[in-house]
Amino acid sequence: MKTVGVFDSGVGGLSVLRALLAELPGTRFVYAADSAHAPYGERTAQDVSARTHRITAQLREQHGIDALVVACNTATAHAIDDLRKAYPDLPIVGVEPALKPAAALSRSGGIGVLATRGTLESARFAQLRDRLIAAAPRPLRFISQPCDGLAAAIERHELPTIEALSTRYVKELLQGPQGDHPIDTLVLGCTHYPFAAELLGRLCGPDVTLVDTGAPVARRTRDVLGLPLLPGAPAVPPLLLSSGNPSALAQAAQRWLGLGVEARSL
């Protein structure tokens, strides 16, 4: 049995864990939420890199992980290249906003991106966006909207704040520079945001398709490990770890994944 570490700044990476559990039911997962230092999207690149390296070392030394999924867009943007250099023998899968799948789905070429400020201001995001625009057979427009505070509100399950911020940011995105409705596809560029997908979908309307990264990351992890599809294999309960309040992580896993498992301190 393979052991895969899954790491996020908080509970948002549970959206990726949900896809991983479905794709790799016979795999043991150790989920680490750095909730005491969340959200990463509003921290400096140096802080994010330091926390990512520290938790990777902990997962490797204490849990013997065979691979790592960095289930955080901001941590992937700021730390994954150095992390791969530091651990050349450890398969590492990152997440990044699903711009490529969105470009394939979009009918008009107008694509909205909701993400943290840290992700949107990273060189990695700019390179991905510019590469897709240059290679596209038709014009693509990526309209980015930083969502300050939204990941933190989802982390704390503050429903009124989630609704208020989601309403504000979607309104700003859909207005566009000329006050038009410029998108038909919306990228959820933070792993926290799929847990507000129903609300975001209602705010955007039925003509906008939402895209996140959970399923592609899960498929990529299976490919990296060279594991076959095992439909019907018994699920292995994940180990949940938090640098913050373990009971809050356990409650989030129960709420969003239906997992009745306890969490421990990281």
* CA end-to-end span of the chain: 23
Pull the structure tokens for residue 16: 């990726």
DSSP 41-101: GGS-HHHHHHHHHHHHHHHHHHH--SEEEE--HHHHHHHHHHHHHH-TTS-EEE----HHH
What whole-number distance in Å separates Cα of residue 95 and Cα of residue 57?
19
Classify burial at 58, counting beta carbons within 10 Å of its beta carbon; exposed 0-12, middle 13-18, buried 19 or more: middle
Q: Which residue in the list 17, 72, 188, 218 is annotated as catalytic? A: 72
Strand pairing class (92-94; 141-146): unpaired
Q: Which residue in the list 38, 190, 208, 263 is annotated as catalytic? A: 190
Residue 72 a catalytic site member: yes
Residue 190 a catalytic site member: yes
Task: Please identify every residue annotated as catalytic.
Answer: 72, 190
